Amino acid sequence: MSRTTRRAGVAAIAAAALLLTGACSKDDAKKKAPDPAKAAGQNRTTPAEAATVTLTPVDKATGVDPAAPITVAVAGSGAKIAEVKVTNAGGESVDGALTGNTWKPQVPFMYGGKYTVAATATNAENKPTTATSVFTVLNPTQAATATFMPDADATVGVGQPVSITFDEPVKNHKAVQDAIKVTATPAVEGAWHWFGNSRVEWRPREYWKVGTQVKVDLNLRGVDLGGGVMSKQFKSFGFKISDTKRITVVDAKAHTMTVSENDQVVKTIPITAGEDPKYTTWNGTMVMEDRDLSVDMNSQSVGLGNEYDQKGVQFAIRLTDSGTYLHANTWASTDVFGSANTSHGCVSMTLDNAKWIYERSTRGDIVQVKGNEQKPVAPDNGYGAWNLTWDQWTAGS
């Protein structure tokens, strides 16, 4: 073989190898080069769904219940409530708490008040969505107010009930009872009793223990009393039971009044009680409901005609709404004290003795009358709660 022929063969082999190598590289390139469309699909992420927020009351709602909670409904994958803020018409924040998906004001909304709620929820990527609602609370045409005894921060005797009186009739007794909470320290068993439809009282089963602290929560705002009447109060008050258990026993037959403190007799006072049979003093258990250094007593004010009109009666302690008092008697002969019943139903004594009992007594102290044929005082004539048995008392709840 000539050199020329040999060179041609080598060249041919090299060319073939070159063609083979080029073919392999092309195939590898096809395998390794990324597909632009495919690569774009691998790098793309789908945005998380935005959270949605729905509020109740809805925007521009009117006539909203002042005690109703605000409901915050959220939707969307991973959606959750982040914040709920409520402001009044003056832009002031309203205190409240979020439980689950409901927000409730610490104090019920004011009647006729206008409020704005802004609720924010976040989605799975923690991106916020906020919804707002402006609503107006109902403003009832009939709104009841309750007065209460004892006064806030008062110190009272062991017989004092919690007495609530409404200036509008109450048909929904249970709603009122459920809205008023009485807390005693130490705790005691107690119950409510209604006298008609305007007055309700809470008393313990037995007389209060001395030194007891009592708190009353009137959570009445927004409570439907029935008959189109709503309550409007939200108030708490407290009082203390005296450190002295003072019980005064009037024996109309013996013409005496015996005062015990913490179960020890401290004094027996000669008295005159109501004249039998027309003016007999009520029997039963009464509670000192008021005290005055001086009071005018007129028989017409208690439905007795023109029997008496006494000005400036001193050291007067009121026991019933119908006008029964312990008081000083400066116009009668001193011979009657301890020997006869000559009054129109009150229990009276000398000025010195009346001053003595007045100065050491307090509202809520117990006065028990016995020794005559008169029936017990009615349980709603003053604070006559203790003339009912426990079963009778709870039956009125």
Q: The domain spanning residue 89 has which CATH number? A: 2.60.40.3780
Residues 260 and 164 placed together within one structural domain of the fold: no
**How far is the first Cα of the chain from the last one, in angstroms, to the nearest whole number?**
132
Residues 333 and 368 placed together within one structural domain of the fold: yes
Task: Report the CATH number at residue 283.
Answer: 2.40.440.10
> Shortest CA distance to 350 belongs to which of 315, 388, 390, 305?
315
| Cα–Cα distance, 122 to 76 (Å, whole number) | 9
Residues 129 and 150 placed together within one structural domain of the fold: no
| Structural domains of the chain, count | 3
Task: Report the CATH number at residue 178.
Answer: 2.60.40.3710
Residues 266 and 340 placed together within one structural domain of the fold: yes
Asked if 200 and 193 touch (Cβ cutoff 8 Å), the reply is yes
Give me the amino acid identity at 69: P
Residue 397 in any domain: the answer is no
Question: From the CB of residue 80, how many other CB atoms can be counted at a distance below 10 Å?
Answer: 13
Whether 238 shows a pLDDT value over 60: the answer reads: yes
Give the lowest-confidence range in 29-38, 114-123, 229-238, 303-312.
29-38
What does DSSP say about strands 347-349 and 325-328: parallel, antiparallel, or unpaired?
A: parallel
Task: Write out the DSSP string of 73-95.
Answer: EEESTT-EEEEEEEEETTSPBPP
Domain stops at, among 122, 137, 152? 137
Residues 131 and 153 placed together within one structural domain of the fold: no
Report the SS3 class of residue 23: helix
Residue 105 in any domain: the answer is yes
Residue 1 in any domain: the answer is no
Q: For 263-313, what is each residue's pLDDT tens digit? A: 999 999 999 999 988 899 999 999 999 999 999 988 777 767 777 778 999
Choice among 193, 255, 327, 344 that is catalytic: 327
Choice among 193, 255, 344, 346 that is catalytic: 346
Residue 45 in any domain: the answer is no
Whether 39 shows a pLDDT value over 60: the answer reads: no
Residue 268 in any domain: the answer is yes
Q: For 122-155, what is each residue's pLDDT tens digit? A: 999 999 999 999 999 988 888 899 999 999 999 9
Residues 372 and 273 placed together within one structural domain of the fold: yes
What does DSSP say about strands 256-261 and 264-270: parallel, antiparallel, or unpaired?
A: antiparallel
Asked if 347 and 326 touch (Cβ cutoff 8 Å), the reply is yes
Question: From the CB of residue 310, how many other CB atoms can be counted at a distance below 10 Å?
Answer: 15
Residue 39 in any domain: the answer is no
Domain stops at, among 186, 215, 243? 243
37 phi/psi in degrees, rounded to 5: -65, -40
| Cα–Cα distance, 286 to 282 (Å, whole number) | 9
Residue 265's DSSP bridge partners are 260
Residues 156 and 84 placed together within one structural domain of the fold: no
Known catalytic residue at 193:
no
Residue 38 in any domain: the answer is no
Domain stops at, among 85, 105, 137? 137
Known catalytic residue at 346:
yes
Whether 244 shows a pLDDT value over 60: the answer reads: yes
Residues 159 and 190 placed together within one structural domain of the fold: yes
Sign of CA dihedral 50, 56, 57, 58: positive
| Cα–Cα distance, 354 to 32 (Å, whole number) | 115
Residues 72 and 101 placed together within one structural domain of the fold: yes
Element (H, E) at 356: helix 351-360
Full domain range(s) for residue 331: 246-383
